[in-house]
């Protein structure tokens, strides 16, 4: 078995996940060494529970690889692992980065300059029309559009890209043995011919509810910035925005009617400090010119904080601080504190680290 095959196996082990896989590889030295370890050795490392250790040890490795290779060949999929030189650089730089990518389409698309366009599944006509308009403008400006193939805004974003003669990337929340949503099967096939469809999940992984928020970190990681077109209070697009901020990427939001329930979440992002995008040029101009570091600390903008933000910001320094410590120091409840830290992230003054730790940005 090769290191790449070992990563394919570990990626399919129930309850393991990318974060634990990377930690185990660091501890044992390689994916192969993880698979060669006993249940006792896996448990004693302290990184996983005994039940997950058993999942790894007793996983049907040879049968899985045989079945997986058959599906990969039949469906015309290319597989990349973190052990491959061609694995996208944008997906190596953060702790919860995927260790395997299944790609149907053009591999080169994964390294192109891209923007994420996301929003609500239950989108309004205004939202879908705007998503198409933004996608078409981005394509005409030489950018690729990344989205999640979901109903509503995602579908409109992919369609707008294709209608403008461009390419688009769809990141899906299941394996290639499934199509979700089913009505987007023709769209998925078109994207695979004019762009790429991407999944981190083994081919037989069904479209489980928890997969979709998790795949959103890939959408943001493949993109230079994330644009939220229309998102309700519980929309997965807000999770994509959160991942973008944790990856130190810009978040833009298209304003919408305050009475529109499908835009309550995106309007809240604006209130919390996200950049407003009234038209595609607002995004394109910033993406092209707003990533040059300041040459002198004297040129830093004045930091304006609300009263609530001022209760939290002084406790976040250049040393990581856990959210529980922030609760203790600020005297705020966890719900209020989470809202405030999100608003500070949107101002790009702080960033969240894995494990709910926070640290100031270098220019914060």
Sequential DSSP letters for 50-88: HHHHHHHHHS-HHHHHHHHHHHHHHHT-EEEETTSTTS-
Flag whether 100 is in a domain. no
199 and 308 together in one domain: no
d(CA 132, CA 117): 10
Q: Give how many domains the chain has, as a whole number.
A: 3
Q: What per-residue confidence (pLDDT) applies to 292?
A: 38
> In the listed set 256, 289, 322, which residue is the last one of a domain according to the structure?
289
Q: What per-residue confidence (pLDDT) applies to 294?
A: 32
CA quadruple 260, 262, 265, 268: dihedral, nearest 10: -20
52 and 180 together in one domain: no
279 and 308 together in one domain: no
CA within 13 Å, CB half, 45: 21
Flag whether 65 is in a domain. no
217 and 331 together in one domain: no
34 and 181 together in one domain: no
Confidence band for 358, pLDDT divided at 50, 70 and 90: confident
Q: What is the per-residue pLDDT across 76-120, written as a single tens digit (0 to 9) for each?
A: 999 999 888 888 888 887 778 899 999 999 998 998 899 999 998
Tell me, what CATH number does 211's domain have? 3.40.50.450
Tell me, what CATH number does 10's domain have? 1.10.150.20
pLDDT at 9 over 70: yes
Residue 237 gets the label, from left (phi > 0), alpha (psi -120 to 50) or beta, of alpha
113 and 248 together in one domain: yes
182 and 280 together in one domain: yes
Tell me, what CATH number does 355's domain have? 1.10.10.10
Domain range holding 339? 297-360
d(CA 179, CA 190): 13
Burial 56-87 (b: 16+ CB within 10 A, else e): bbebebeebbeebeebbeeeebebbbbbeeeb
CA quadruple 317, 322, 327, 333: dihedral, nearest 10: 120
Flag whether 94 is in a domain. no
Least confident of 93-102, 141-150, 205-214, 291-300: 291-300
Q: What is residue 248's DSSP assignment?
A: T
Confidence band for 364, pLDDT divided at 50, 70 and 90: very low
Would you state the structure tokens that stand for residue 343, as one six-digit string?
């608003």
Would you state the structure tokens that stand for residue 329, as one six-digit string?
């120091």
252 and 303 together in one domain: no
Helix axes 236-246, 264-271, angle to 10 degrees: 30
- What residues does 114 pair with on adjacent strands? 144
Flag whether 89 is in a domain. no
d(CA 55, CA 13): 6
Least confident of 13-22, 53-62, 207-216, 340-349: 340-349
267 and 310 together in one domain: no
139 and 235 together in one domain: yes
| Mean pLDDT, all residues of the chain | 87
- What residues does 321 pair with on adjacent strands? 358
Flag whether 68 is in a domain. no
Per the CB < 8 A criterion, the answer to whether 223 and 116 are in contact is: yes
Confidence band for 301, pLDDT divided at 50, 70 and 90: very low
273 and 350 together in one domain: no
301 and 285 together in one domain: no
């Amino acid at each position: 078995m090769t290191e790449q095959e070992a990563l394919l196996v570990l990626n399919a082990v129930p309850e393991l996940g990318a974060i634990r896989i990377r930690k185990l590889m660091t501890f044992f030295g390689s994916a192969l060494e993880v698979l060669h370890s006993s249940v006792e050795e896996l448990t004693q490392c302290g990184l996983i529970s005994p039940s997950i250790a058993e999942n790894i040890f007793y996983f049907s490795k040879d049968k899985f690889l045989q079945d997986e290779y058959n599906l990969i060949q039949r469906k015309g999929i290319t597989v990349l692992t973190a052990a491959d030189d061609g694995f996208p650089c944008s997906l190596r730089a953060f702790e919860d980065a995927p260790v395997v990518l299944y790609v149907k389409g053009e591999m080169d698309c994964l390294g192109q300059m891209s923007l994420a366009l996301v929003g609500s599944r239950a989108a309004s006509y205004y939202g879908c029309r705007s998503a198409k308009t933004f996608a078409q403008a981005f394509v005409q400006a030489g950018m690729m559009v990344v989205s999640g193939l979901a109903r509503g805004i995602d579908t409109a974003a992919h369609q707008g890209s294709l209608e403008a003669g461009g390419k688009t990337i769809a990141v899906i929340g299941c394996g290639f043995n499934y199509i979700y949503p089913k009505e987007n099967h023709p769209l998925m096939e078109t994207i695979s011919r004019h762009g790429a469809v991407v999944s981190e999940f083994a081919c037989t992984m069904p479209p489980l509810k928890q997969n979709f928020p998790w795949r959103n970190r890939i959408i943001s990681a493949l993109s230079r910035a994330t644009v939220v077109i229309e998102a309700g209070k519980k929309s997965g697009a807000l999770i994509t925005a959160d991942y973008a901020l944790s990856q130190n990427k810009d978040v833009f939001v298209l304003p919408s009617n305050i009475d529109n329930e499908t835009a309550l979440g995106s309007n809240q992002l604006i209130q919390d400090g996200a950049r407003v995008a009234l038209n595609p040029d607002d995004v394109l101009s910033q993406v092209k010119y707003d990533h040059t570091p300041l040459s002198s600390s004297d040129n830093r903008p004045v930091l304006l904080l609300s009263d609530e933000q001022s209760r939290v910001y002084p406790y976040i320094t250049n040393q990581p601080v856990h959210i529980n410590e922030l609760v203790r120091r600020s005297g705020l409840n966890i719900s209020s504190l989470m809202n405030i830290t999100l608003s500070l992230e949107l101002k790009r003054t702080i960033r969240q680290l894995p494990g709910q730790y926070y640290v100031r940005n270098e220019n914060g």
